[in-house]
Amino acid sequence: MAQWYYSDYERNRHGPVSAADLAMLHANGQLAGDTLVWREGLAQWQPWHSMIDEVVAATPAAPAPARASFATAAADAPEDAFSSPYTMAEPRSPYAPPRAPVQRVEDVYLDGQVVYAGFWKRVAAYLIDSVIIGVIAMVVGAAIGGLMGAAFGLGGGLDNGGALAIQGVVQLVSLVLTACYYGWFYASVQQATPGKMAIGIKVVRGDGEGCGFWRGFARYFAMILSGLVLGIGFLMAAFTARKQCLHDMICDTVVVDKWAFTAYPDQQREELGTLAVVVLVLGGLLFVGLIMVVAGLAAMAGAGR
C-alpha cells in the first residue's frame, strides 16, 4: 500500500501515512485544497485537491483508522522525524515534521506557455473591482465626513472652507485606501484582486515572480497616469506584445492567466469566460443608460432656457 506524505503551512513534511489516514485527515478538515502531498511514483509534490479522487478511491468505505497503522508508521519513520518544535498529542507521532524542504506552490515555472490577459478580460476585472472599491469609499467617506462635520459643528459651524477640507480629506483617504487595496491583493497568495480572481487572471512581475505590496501600491498611481493620457495607456494592452498597459511597463508587471507560471500551464484559457461576458454586457448597458440620462438632462436644461 502506498505511503503518503503531506506538508503543513510552514512547508514541513509529515508522514508517512496510509491513504486511509490521509482520508481521515481530510474528513477532519486538516487538509486544505492547496496542501501539498506526495507518494512514491509522483514526479513532484501535488496539491491535495488534485489527488483527493485517487486517495478516496483507494480507501475502503467508512474506514476506522486503526491506531496500529500510526504506530507502524512511527516505527518506520527516521529518528529526525521527531525533532519537532511543536507539541504532539502522542510521542513519536508519524506527523512530526522532519527537516526536509517541500516545494512551494508559489514556485515559478518558466518552461510552460504563458497566456496573457487581454484588454476585455482586464476591463471586466476592473469593473468588478470598481464596484467593491466604490462601496468601500462610500462607507469610509461617510464616516470621515460625519466625524469632521461634527467637529466643525462643535467649532462654530461648517462653512465653505470646512466643506472643501472634508472633501479633500475624503478624496485623499480614498486614494490611499484604493492603492492599498491593489497592493495588498497583488501581494497575496492569489496575486489578484477580487475582480481579477473572479475573471481568472493575476498580476505578476515580468519574470513571473510575485508583484509585492509596494509595487502593487505604486502600480495604482501609474494606472492613473495611463488614464490621464486620454486613456491611451490602457488601450496599449490591445497592441503590445505581452498585452501590457502603460502602467505595466512602468512597474514591470504583466497580467496573465491564473495558471500561468505554475506547474499546470495547460489549464490556462484564452477565451473570455461566461462571467467576463456577463460583466462586460452589464457594464455596457449601464454606460449606455448613463449617456441617455445625461443627454436627457441636457435636453431638458436646453428647453428651459
pLDDT tens across 206-253, in order?
989 998 999 999 999 999 999 998 899 999 998 898 999 999 999 999
- Per-residue confidence band for 1, with pLDDT thresholds at 50, 70 and 90: low
Residue type present at position 24: M
Domains of the chain: 4-82 (3.30.1490.40), 119-279 (no CATH)
Mean pLDDT of 171-199: 95
Q: Which three cell numbers stand for residue 146?
A: 460625519
Share of the chain above pLDDT 70, in %: 80
Of the candidates 285, 283, 289, which has an alpha carbon nearest to the alpha carbon of residue 125? 283
**The pLDDT of residue 99:** 39
Share of the chain above pLDDT 90, in %: 44
Q: DSSP string covering the chain, please?
A: ---EEEE-TT--EEEEE-HHHHHHHHHTT---TT-EEEETT-SS-EEGGGTHHHHHHTS-SS----HHHHHHHHHHS-GGGG--SSPPSSTT-TTSPPS-----TT----SS---B--HHHHHHHHHHHHHHHHHHHHHHHHHHHHHHHHHHHHTT---HHHHHHHHHHHHHHHHHHHHHHHHHHHTSTT-S-HHHHHHTEEEEETTS-B--HHHHHHHHHHHHHHHHTTTHHHHGGGTSTT---HHHHHHTEEEEETTTTSS-GGG---S--HHHHHHHHHHHHHHHHHHHHHHHHHHHHHHT-
* Least reliable range by pLDDT among 6-10, 77-81, 217-221, 255-259: 77-81
Statement: residue 126 has pLDDT above 50: yes
This prediction has a pTM of: 0.63
- Between CA 261 and CA 253 the distance in angstroms is 13
pLDDT tens across 91-116, in order?
334 444 443 444 444 577 877 889 99
